[in-house]
Amino acid sequence: MDLLTLREQFDQQRVLLSFNGPISHSLIEEIGKAIRNYLNSESAEPSAAMDVFSTYIEMTQNISHYATAMGYDDHRATATVAVARSPEGHYQVSAGNVVEHADGERLMATVGELSGLDASELKRVYKQQLRKPREEGSRGAGLGLIDMARKSCQPLKSTLKPMSDQQSFFCITATI
């Protein structure tokens, strides 16, 4: 492994923190603490720090819950997470994981719909979703995704890249 090349890529893409591997609740918590500590040391605005932290938590918990619901083993129950700084000074919180094709397509469509809404429309959709009963067997991508879209100062971005006949790698980025 060439760590220098990896470090150079991180520096080039302004990555502040990253993780790749099996995800657990205790690991989510520890990485969350590291994010908070980093943002505090950088004197980030308290509201931005809270939005970065809560967006990270939402993304990683969604990945963890999805992997559990799908019965994925440790090899497939992994997450790739990165927090970076854009050239404009915004924080970019990205997370990705293996998903079934149909679930990935549904997520892409939802992100696409949310990306076309302005702040007042996102607020309206958020309130509508709050009133809806949670569907039996739901795999998420509801209220938390809408909340991430509301916190993001740019439309959420997502990608879906096929990995096999049944699975793809889904990635989402929120800009805070």
**pLDDT score at 132:** 82
- pLDDT tens across 112-146, in order? 999 999 999 999 999 999 888 776 655 555 899 99
Q: In what order do the strands lie in the sheet with 157-162?
A: 15-22, 78-85, 91-100, 167-175, 157-162
User: Strand runs (DSSP E) across the chain, as ranges?
Assistant: 15-22, 78-85, 91-100, 157-162, 167-175
CATH superfamily of 3-175: Histidine kinase-like ATPase, C-terminal domain (3.30.565.10)
Choose among 119, 106, 104, 109: nearest CA to 154. 119
Q: What is the pTM of this model?
A: 0.91
**pLDDT score at 139:** 52
- Spans of the chain, pLDDT less than 50: none
Residues in the chain: 176
118-124 own/partner pairs: CB under 8 Å, 24+ apart: 119/150, 122/146, 122/149, 122/150, 123/150
- pLDDT tens across 39-49, in order? 989 888 999 99
Burial of 1 (0-12, 13-18, 19+ CB in 10 A): exposed
- Cα-Cα-Cα-Cα torsion 129, 132, 136, 138, nearest 10 degrees, comes to 0
Choose among 54, 91, 88: nearest CA to 173. 91
